[in-house]
Each structure stands twice: as C-alpha cells, then as structure tokens.
Amino acid sequence: MTVHYHEEDLPDGVLEGTGALAVDTETMGLITHRDRLCVVQISDGSGDEHLVRFGPGSEYEAPNLTRILADESRVKLYHYARFDLAAIHYYLGVMAAPVFCTKIASKLVRTYTDRHGLKNLTDELLGESMSKQQQSSDWGGPDLNEAQREYAASDVRFLHRLRDELTVRLEREGRMPIAQACFDFLPTRAVLDIAGWAESDIFSHS
C-alpha cells in the first residue's frame, strides 16, 4: 500500500483501465463557489492511493485526471457524493459519474442507527479504524504534511470494500433499485447545488 502524491494532475498512464474508482476531495471549506478545491484523492482499489494537489491560483487543467473522472464506463465510489461531485464539476469541469455513494447506501440499510459517517462505516462493517484528526485541516498550504496525506488517502482506501458490503445489504433488503435511483440523481443534485438550490427543496409543495 503506497500513497502517491502529485501536483496539478495524474502522471501519464496512472489508473488507466477498467473497474470502479474511489474518489474524494479536500477543499478550503463547504461552500463550493467560495472554498477552492485543493486535493482530489483517487484509488482503483488495488492498494495504492493517488493524491492530486491543486495550488492557489491553479488553472485546474488536469487532462489525465479529468479524462479518468469523466469515463462513464467506470463507477465512481464516494462517501457523500453530492459534495464531491459539485466540487469536481465546478473546478475541473467534468461530471465524475456514474456514482455509488456509501453514505446514501448506509442511510438506506443501516436504519438502526443515525451514525453514517465514513469512520462509523469502516468501524462497523470492516473492523478498520480511521483517524479523523485532520478533517478540519488547512488544505490550502504549499504542501501536504504526512498526517494530511495519510488522512486524505484513508478517505478512499476503504470505499471499494464498503461498496461491496453495502451492496449485499441493499440487495438483501430489496432496496438496491431505490438506491440506484438515488445514485443516478446525484449529478443533477450537485448541479442544483451549484446553481443556487442547495438549501431549497424544489419537490416540496411550498
């Protein structure tokens, strides 16, 4: 298992092929228009994680990364895909779909709890421990320290295994069709967020 660090784009030939990709982002905050994209983490589940850092003033021209993210033949695995899809779409100009979101899957099948964080899932479903000490870290600095790199990598390290376990549970409970419908809607939800409807329920009567 190796964490690979890159500036501004993936190197040529990295993560080419087929199969699902685990994806996550680190930003300067939670408001997409204001808080710039700093890091994209990506893994094909083989044991290595790749971190792509974007510096202040970045042009966000990352042809290798964006081509892989835009590949509609490869499912992208996220935890809370709604946020990551919006950040990637806004800054990198691609919709990184199709989607499997472990948070949505968890909410559909782990109805015995209200704890659906990534750490909660890895603890319960995989017996793995994650540190969240760097969750509120400053991702906009000139470099990422080792603790930041490990934290960022861990956010994609377990997503393939979580997808497999949650799929079993969704199918067992007969909820895979509704989960898939939710996953399919997430790109539209992200576009609505960017366009200004993040806090509005356009499906409500009022």
pLDDT tens digits, residue range 49-67?
999 999 999 999 999 999 9
In a domain, 116, yes or no: yes
Domain enclosing residue 48, as ranges: 3-128+158-197
In a domain, 146, yes or no: no
Q: E strands along the chain, which residues?
A: 3-7, 21-27, 37-43, 49-53, 76-78, 99-101
In a domain, 100, yes or no: yes
In a domain, 166, yes or no: yes
Q: List the one residue out of 181, 204, 183, 185 whose CA is nearest residue 193.
A: 185
How many domains are contained in the chain?
Answer: 1
**74 close to 68: Cβ distance less than 8 angstroms:** yes
In a domain, 148, yes or no: no
Per DSSP, the three-state class of 157 is helix
In a domain, 134, yes or no: no
CATH number for position 43: 3.30.420.10
pLDDT tens, residue by residue, 140-153:
988 899 999 999 99
Burial label, 131 (beta-carbon count in 10 A; 0-12, 13-18, 19+): exposed
Q: Ramachandran region of residue 57, left (φ > 0), alpha (ψ -120 to 50) or beta?
A: left
Look at residue 122 in the predicted model and tell me its pLDDT. Answer: 96
Q: List the one residue out of 48, 177, 182 whose CA is nearest residue 102.
A: 182
pTM for this predicted structure: 0.95
In a domain, 144, yes or no: no
In a domain, 67, yes or no: yes
